[in-house]
Amino acid sequence: MISASQSEFIERLRAAGQARYHDRHPFHARMHDGALSRAELALWALNRYYYQTRIPIKDALIVAKSEDPSFRRRWIHRIADHDGVAEGDGGLALWRRLAMALGVKEGDLDDPGAILPGVRRACDSYVELVRSATLLEAVAASLTEFFAPALMRQRLASWQKHYRWVPHEALEYFRIRIQRAEEDAAGALELVIALATTPELEQRATVALVKKADLLWQMLDAIQGAADANEVSHASPPQ
């Protein structure tokens, strides 16, 4: 049973994260309006892949922070969700298929030099945030998943309307993440509520969430900056 004070804490978390979540970034606005070129979509997918590769690493760090076997059992599935349980399975594999469908060369996905420096800094900063944080703060930082399902639904609708040249099966990552992000956010929120037992701890959890949201925004800043610098074509993609 969630108390009144816990409900207020949840609302503060949601408000703080939503105010800074990257769904409001101009690059996402252009994406959802169908205004990105094929090259810009490829640039985004390539650089976002580096973020995807950091997710199982930060989840492994979170698992290692806990002395509680029940916590570790609850969290460890996230690593398999991204890495897969076999070669070619999981979220990373699905993202690779998306990127290649957008025209990214497979070799570039594994080339550290292909990633924008600003994107690398933001992603590596997230890993370091988790590495140096308390268990509460590390879990709270993942609560950007609160807002991911709505973004994934919007992205799917937009891509199916504006980027019909992208194969249907290449969008599978977005479809899968809608439900999984909802489940993961609910589980993480339950853990944060259990761990944030004082106003000070609630504040630390909120700050961690805001830091993570800011890093996601910084990633898009770097990608938008590269696009604006004419490093990629702004021509509209085929419909």
CATH number at residue 68: 1.20.910.10
- CA 76 – CA 64 distance, rounded (Å): 10
Beta-carbon neighbour count of residue 48 at 10 Å? Answer: 18
Are the C-beta atoms of residues 46 and 109 closer than 8 Å to each other? yes
What does the pLDDT read at residue 85?
Answer: 86
State the pTM of this model: 0.92
Beta-carbon neighbour count of residue 26 at 10 Å? Answer: 10
In a domain, 146, yes or no: yes
Parent domain of 94: 4-228
How many distinct structural domains can be found in the chain?
A: 1
Q: What is the DSSP string of 113-143?
A: GGS-HHHHHHHHHHHHHHHHS-HHHHHHHGG
In a domain, 27, yes or no: yes
3-state secondary structure 156-176: HHHHHHHCCCCCHHHHHHHHH
DSSP 144: G
- The vertex-72 CA angle with 69 and 76, nearest 5°, equals 145
Q: pLDDT, tens digit, for every residue of 188-229?
A: 999 999 999 999 999 999 999 999 999 999 999 999 999 999
What does the pLDDT read at residue 234?
Answer: 46
At residue 54, what is the residue type? R
| Mean pLDDT lowest among 12-21, 119-128, 216-225 | 12-21
In a domain, 63, yes or no: yes
Longest dimension (CA), the chain: 54
- CA 69 – CA 214 distance, rounded (Å): 31
What does the pLDDT read at residue 235?
Answer: 46
Q: pLDDT, tens digit, for every residue of 76-118?
A: 999 999 999 888 789 999 999 999 999 999 999 999 999 999 9
In the predicted model, is pLDDT for residue 237 greater than 80?
A: no
By percentage, how much of the chain surpasses pLDDT 90?
90
In a domain, 237, yes or no: no
What does the pLDDT read at residue 32?
Answer: 97
